[in-house]
């Protein structure tokens, strides 16, 4: 999960049409019985969201666009709320740009209509002179909504990088047991088996590459110069994994910044650990 900058004041075309305005008016009357039109909130916003999120899920950073299509997810549920059965849902922001995120099907299916909060839940909007929800009642970053104290992190509002850490076992954890991070991990199942497997596949592949170079160097099948060059390329690959366009870039950030924890400490002997640690230090200094 990484932070995304979205201009809430510049929405895709289908969120600025007369049809959208009519649908909002209908939702205000019909509330949770309103049949939300995906062609309005999804069809043109999907491309815009894929661009903003670099084709990665807002929650788990998986890119599934080559397989199952990404989905447009409502941060605040548009029809009902699992944690408040008598609540009629946040029907008035069903077509709101600041309430729409990009999600893979697995995170979307896990989150569904969950929206836990620590404050007091709002149930109705304030309308402007034209009969539409005013800015305070529709923008996800307004005090009106923030006072609910949502436990689910919003990547377009929160600096989500400050809430999580990754561990060498491939799991994501809440930093300092932060309740919002704990709830987000739980709600979106960010430690589900397939995610851990994918993270570990990246880590294990890179570790095996480093290990192979050291084995070949020890066996004398490659020269020291060739080994250093190859290991430098591997380190460069690890460094690039934290680029925001990369899948699981936040996991990549920890692979690089906590290199010893993820790589060095995995080597079986103190001699190997010392060698890898020194090589990485040389790389950081630009001397490898």
Residue 231 located in a structural domain: yes
Residue 276: per-residue pLDDT: 95
152, 75 Cβ separation under 8 angstroms: yes
Boundary residue ending a domain (99, 128, 152): 152
Q: Report the Cα 120 to chain-centroid distance in Å.
A: 26
Residues 147, 231, single domain; the answer is: no
Residue 114 located in a structural domain: yes
Residues 37, 128, single domain; the answer is: yes
Residues 258, 144, single domain; the answer is: no
pLDDT digits (tens, 9 = 90+) for 70-97: 999 999 999 889 999 899 999 999 999 9
Q: Is 150 helix (H, G, I), strand (E, B) or coil?
A: strand
Q: How far apart are CA 203 and CA 1, in angstroms?
A: 18
Residue 132 located in a structural domain: yes
172: CB partners within 8 A, 6+ apart: 164, 165, 166, 185, 190, 191, 251
Residue 72 located in a structural domain: yes
Residue 44: per-residue pLDDT: 83
Residue 131 located in a structural domain: yes
Residue 33 located in a structural domain: yes
pLDDT digits (tens, 9 = 90+) for 229-243: 999 999 999 999 999
Give the DSSP letter of residue 174: E
Residues 136, 212, single domain; the answer is: no
Full residue range of the structural domain in which residue 106 is found: 13-152
Residue 166 located in a structural domain: no
Boundary residue ending a domain (97, 127, 152): 152
Residue 169 located in a structural domain: no
Q: How far apart are the first and last CA of the chain?
A: 32
Residues 25, 143, single domain; the answer is: yes
Q: Is 100 helix (H, G, I), strand (E, B) or coil?
A: strand
Boundary residue ending a domain (119, 152, 185): 152
Residue-wise burial string across 236-271, b where 16 or more C-beta atoms lie within 10 A, e elsewhere? eebeebbeeebbbbbbbbbbbebbeebbbebbeeee
Residue 64: per-residue pLDDT: 77
pLDDT-flagged residues of the chain (< 50): none
Residues 120, 22, single domain; the answer is: yes
Number of domains composing the chain: 2
Residues 60, 142, single domain; the answer is: yes
Residues 30, 101, single domain; the answer is: yes
Residue 140: per-residue pLDDT: 96
pTM of the model: 0.93
């Amino acid at each position: 999960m990484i932070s995304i900058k979205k201009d809430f004041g510049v929405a895709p075309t289908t969120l600025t049409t007369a049809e959208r305005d009519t649908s909002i008016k209908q939702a205000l009357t019909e509330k949770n019985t309103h049949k939300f039109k995906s062609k309005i909130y999804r069809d043109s916003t999907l491309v815009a969201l894929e661009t903003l999120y670099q084709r990665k899920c807002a929650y788990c950073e998986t890119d599934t666009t080559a397989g199952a299509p990404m989905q447009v997810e409502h941060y605040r549920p548009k029809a009902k709320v699992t944690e408040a059965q008598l609540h009629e849902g946040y029907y008035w922001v069903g077509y709101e740009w600041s309430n729409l995120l990009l999600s893979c099907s697995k995170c979307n299916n896990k989150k569904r209509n969950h929206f836990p909060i620590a404050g007091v839940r709002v149930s109705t909007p304030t309308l402007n002179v034209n009969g539409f929800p005013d800015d305070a009642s529709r923008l996800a970053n307004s005090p009106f909504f923030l006072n609910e104290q949502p436990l689910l992190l919003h990547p377009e509002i929160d600096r989500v990088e400050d809430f999580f850490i990754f561990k060498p076992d491939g799991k994501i954890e809440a930093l300092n047991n932060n309740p919002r991070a704990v709830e987000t991990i739980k709600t979106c199942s960010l430690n589900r088996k397939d995610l851990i497997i994918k993270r570990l596949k990246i880590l294990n592949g890179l570790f095996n590459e480093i290990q192979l170079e050291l084995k070949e160097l020890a066996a004398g099948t490659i020269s020291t110069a060739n080994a250093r060059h190859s290991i430098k390329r591997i380190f460069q690959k690890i460094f690039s994994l934290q680029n925001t366009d990369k899948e699981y870039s936040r996991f990549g950030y920890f692979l690089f910044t906590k290199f010893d924890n993820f790589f060095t400490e995995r080597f079986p002997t103190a001699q190997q650990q010392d060698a890898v640690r020194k090589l990485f230090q040389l790389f950081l200094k630009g001397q490898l």
